[in-house]
Structure formats: C-alpha cells, structure tokens
Structure 1
C-alpha cells in the first residue's frame, strides 16, 4: 500500500493513487493535469520517507475532475432576551481531483523501514 501526505489548499491530506479528493477551489480548468509538489511524507510498501518540511523531488500527479459546491451549512445567531435573530447559509466552493500517481525521483534511501 503506497500513500502520501501532501499540503494542498492550506490543509494536510492523506492521498492514495486511484482515489478522488475534494479540496478548496483551485483556479484550474477541469480535465487538466496538475502536480502537487508539497509532499510531506511518502510510504511505499515498507519504506517511509519524511520531509523537512517537504521531500525534494517528490510530487503527486493528479487530474482535475470538476468544480462543485459542498452541502449547505446554516449559521444561526440569536441574542437571548432580545428580538435579534440572524440566519445565514454558506456553501463552500470545492475542486474534485483524482490522484493518478505518487512520484519520487530520489531513491528512498536513508528511510525508515517498518517491520511488522
């Protein structure tokens, strides 16, 4: 099982090849290929490479699938004993990406070997 932890849209996300993820809106057209270079950790079978803060020469190849909106979030504020009430809704704009591959150019030497 190979996976990576990347930093994208201000969040750290655990990604695996062949799966899709929803990130905050990215200014990229659908069906374009992107590479995310802020890779914090890579695990490939029994080897783990940890970056300080990022791994040099590593990237995650992905494809933009579509732009969408999250489900509606309702914000309701009221002050007790007053007739003040405020109801507001919010829908976050999202970008759905499909992770194609996790690439690392340098060999995973000096890595941590996990023994089960």
Structure 2
C-alpha cells in the first residue's frame, strides 16, 4: 500500500490503512454504550505516516496528523477462563472474563489539514 499510518490506541500500536477495519479493546474514556454504529471518531495519537515514499515520524506524536474513522459495532470478545488451584491446600477458584471491544473502519488520513488519500 502506498499510504498507511501507525497509531496508538487502546494501549497498543496499530498499522492502519484507509478503507480497512480494525478491532480495538477500548478507546480512551469511551464506554461501550456510547459506541453506537456509525459514531465518528478522530485519533490524534499518530506515531508515523507513510505517503508514497515520504515518511513522517513524530516525537512522540505527529503534530497536525488526524486519523478519521467511524465505529462499525461494539462487541464482546471470547470468554477467557482462569482456573487457579492449590494442590496441597485443596482450594480451587474458577472465573472468567470477557473483554469489550469495538470494530472501527479508517476513512481518511490527514496531515496538516490535507487529505492524503
């Protein structure tokens, strides 16, 4: 691909391209009930943008770089079962966890007010 960006969201770094969708564990300070479908989002934590052969690297983030996208839907991940057992004490504990996540699609990448698509 000729254009992509590396963003930081949900405690991880992602390589994103326009027109593709990605799953994120959580967006900063957004609750799952606010993540309706077609909710517009702006991501300002852009670490790097590559456009054709030009690479822009931020320190730590690029100033004037915005990733525009929208939420497709929010959902729960598969359940993770945790089982703890102490063999000599005869104690057992079993519990599970489901992480809420959201699927979003990247619409466009902006750098200094110009659309790079």
TM-score band by shorter chain is: 0.7 to 0.9
> What is the CA distance between 1:80 and its match in structure 2?
2.1
Equivalent of 2:50, from 25, 43, 47? 43
Gapped regions of structure 2 (runs ≥ 5): none
TM-score between both structures, scaled by the size of structure 1: 0.84
Whether contact under 8 Å (1:4, 1:14) holds in the other structure is yes
Cα distance in structure 2, aligned partners of 1:4 and 1:54: 11
Cα distance in structure 2, aligned partners of 1:18 and 1:71: 26
Gapped regions of structure 1 (runs ≥ 5): 108-116
Cα distance in structure 2, aligned partners of 1:96 and 1:23: 6
Residue by residue over 1:15-43, the C-alpha shift from the partner in whole angstroms, topping out at 9 and shown as x without a partner, is 11111111123423321111101100001
Equivalent of 1:80, from 71, 87, 91? 87
User: 1:1-116 to 2 correspondence within 5 Å?
Assistant: 1=1, 2-26=3-27, 27=30, 28-105=35-112
